[in-house]
Amino acid sequence: MLRALSLRRSLRAFHHYHHHHHQPTNPHSNLLKALSSTTSPNPNPNLTRPFSSLSSSPSSEAEFRKYLGYFALLLGCGIATYYSFPFSDSAKHKKAQLFRYAPLPDDLHTVSNWSGTHEVQTRVFHQPESLEELEQIVKEANEKKQKIRPVGSGLSPNGIGLTRAGMVNLALMDNVLDVDVEKKRVRVQAGIRVQQLVDAIKDYGITLQNFASIREQQIGGIVQVGAHGTGARLPPIDEQVISMKLVTPAKGTIEVSKERDPELFYLARCGLGGLGVVAEVTLQCVERQELVEHTVVSNMKEIKKNHKKLLSENKHVKYLYIPYTDTVVVVTCNPVSKWKGPPKFKPKYSRDEAIQHVRDLYQESLKKYSPEAITAKSSDNSEPDINELSFTELRDKLLALDPLNKDHVIQVNQAEAEFWRKSEGYRVGWSDEILGFDCGGQQWVSETCFPAGTLAKPSMKDLEYIEDLKKLIEKEEIPAPAPIEQRWTQSSKSPMSPASSSAEDDIFSWVGIIMYLPTMDARQRKEITEEFFHYRRLSQTQLWDLYSAYEHWAKIEVPKDKDELAALQARLRKRFPVDEYNKARKELDPNRILSNNMLGKLFPSSDTI
């Protein structure tokens, strides 16, 4: 649900990169102030002791000599220490010089995910421009046992592609290689972004079968983590893969498909970047269609009555729940009828009317929380006009005022429920335009996937999960912002997919909880992070086992506690073929150059558990 990889520059310019960093506030400034204050004249002359005076007493002269001796001793110790530990000319850390900084080396890249929740610094960041260059990079890294973890656009909330030991990014390998219009298939380099691909093939009358919330993912990344869109008749995105070309450390470049090594093919489709660098992907596409999006506000009682019908009769459907309210926003998307055409509908409220109450709440909240900000805003032309802000931008600003105050968050949630009520209606556009979703600003998110019966016979466990989750939020008084997003997919044949199942008619529900990071204040972000992990832990302990729920691979977080980590490892083994996955890793990447700390902890070899 996030946006883009941050390397303090554009992905396209990685190979021209020179590290820039913000100059921190001079830490010696306080020291200088302290020094100046100790030498400033004392306002009380009776408390001042002169260093020397012609009329001073013998005791004051003795006192002076004592302190002069202390000073000489201190100075001598400093000089002796300085010259007792010589530095060679090639030393990485030279002798400290007062009031000087040691800048970061030019070749040290700072890489973070979009939300800024995970960040590493590395000297090894490869961006090949061709398959041959990628093959050479992997070969040399394997010989040196140098890690080169594959990383895509950096959208994963958990930073699954990051490691300080070294990375490889395919942003410069972003071409469409072949289009088969008759079979509706396209072969692409794995570094191409979803939006790039969609734009490139739309003139052929085809598009991708389904989309996640955003379009900036690289194809290699979105496939490897088991990403998904929504629609109970539509599988996760890895099911769209027909074949893949992997550059592996041990076996070189191999091509896998269901006809050629099907066992490895299905395992590698959702391989988390650990089985090989995905260089090329062949995808099954569909005919490009215009969709009608229908947004309506409902409640849980009505949803229970119509749930089976909503899942079976709509190509795409999702529910957005607003904590501490009974509001359920239902968004459905279906192809425009060839006979009826798009619906004729005039919205009851304009965009400004739908959002005006949110603007009013923000102005009122400013008076309560930050009255000085109103005065400052009038003299600060750089502050954006609230009339130009989107709803999600306004929500971020509102939450930033008091993000962990439950009553304030409830007030913001109620404003969001009213916004959706005034935004009911229809929207028509191409699938890549309609299926996107503005997720808001930087955030922490946890998303779980669990079985929900079949399309013909839904288990209703998906709605029970939400009811239990909302009760948990209210009981524990969690300052949970909106929305709780619920989507559905068909099952996947990829054994490492959270939606993996051998039964094709199985459906899975995906539920995401969220806490926004609407501020850059380090203390506030830390407090929000702690509260989010409390929220996530309560969901984990009270719901996950009960509903057989497992986290999305791009959102799972590795526990720091050893016992919790051991419990997670054991839990993953119950759901996924960890031994088979590790066996394939050992065969294709024996030196683990494609892995990072996260993969190592989630999937330790059986002899190290």
| pLDDT score for 92 | 40
| pLDDT score for 219 | 95
CB 413 within 8 A of CB 474: no
| pLDDT score for 20 | 41
Walk me through the domains of the chain, giving residue ranges and CATH numbers: 109-169 (3.30.43.10), 176-288 (3.30.465.10), 351-374+386-423 (no CATH)
| pLDDT score for 272 | 97
| pLDDT score for 97 | 38
pLDDT interval class at 48 (50, 70, 90): very low
pLDDT interval class at 492 (50, 70, 90): very high
For residue 609, pLDDT over 80 is answered with no
The more confidently predicted of residues 70 and 494 is: 494
pLDDT digits (tens, 9 = 90+) for 189-238: 999 999 999 999 999 999 999 887 777 889 999 999 999 999 999 999 99
For the segment 511-537, the average pLDDT, to the nearest whole number, is 96
Structure tokens at 412: 């913001």
> What is the three-class DSSP state of 146?
coil
pLDDT digits (tens, 9 = 90+) for 299-342: 999 999 999 999 999 999 999 999 999 999 999 999 998 888 88
For the segment 496-522, the average pLDDT, to the nearest whole number, is 95
For the segment 94-123, the average pLDDT, to the nearest whole number, is 71
| pLDDT score for 98 | 37
pLDDT digits (tens, 9 = 90+) for 150-185: 999 888 889 999 999 999 999 999 999 999 999 999
**Which residues, other chains included, contact 270 with Cβ-Cβ below 8 Å and sequence gap of 6+?**
223, 224, 225, 226, 238, 492, 494, 495, 496, 497, 553
| pLDDT score for 16 | 41
The Cα 597–Cα 600 span in angstroms is 5
| pLDDT score for 110 | 87
For residue 43, pLDDT over 50 is answered with no
Return the percentage of the chain with pLDDT > 70, whole number.
Answer: 81
The more confidently predicted of residues 30 and 236 is: 236
For the segment 388-403, the average pLDDT, to the nearest whole number, is 95
- What's the chain's average pLDDT? 85
CB 349 within 8 A of CB 420: no
The Cα 596–Cα 36 span in angstroms is 50
Helix, strand and coil in the chain, % to nearest 5: 40, 20, 40
Return the percentage of the chain with pLDDT > 90, whole number.
Answer: 70
For residue 49, pLDDT over 90 is answered with no
| pLDDT score for 515 | 97
pLDDT interval class at 186 (50, 70, 90): very high
| pLDDT score for 71 | 72
For residue 375, pLDDT over 60 is answered with no
Q: Which of 364, 451, 357, 12 is nearest to 218 (CA)?
A: 12
User: What's at 34, amino acid-wise?
Assistant: A
| pLDDT score for 372 | 60
Q: Which of 410, 418, 326 is nearest to 365 (CA)?
A: 410
Cα distance between the two ends of the chain: 33
pLDDT digits (tens, 9 = 90+) for 530-589: 999 999 999 999 999 999 999 999 999 999 999 999 999 999 999 999 999 999 999 999
| pLDDT score for 440 | 82
Cα-Cα-Cα-Cα dihedral of 494, 498, 504, 508, to 10°?
-160
CB 478 within 8 A of CB 578: no
pLDDT interval class at 91 (50, 70, 90): very low
pLDDT interval class at 52 (50, 70, 90): very low
CB 509 within 8 A of CB 450: yes
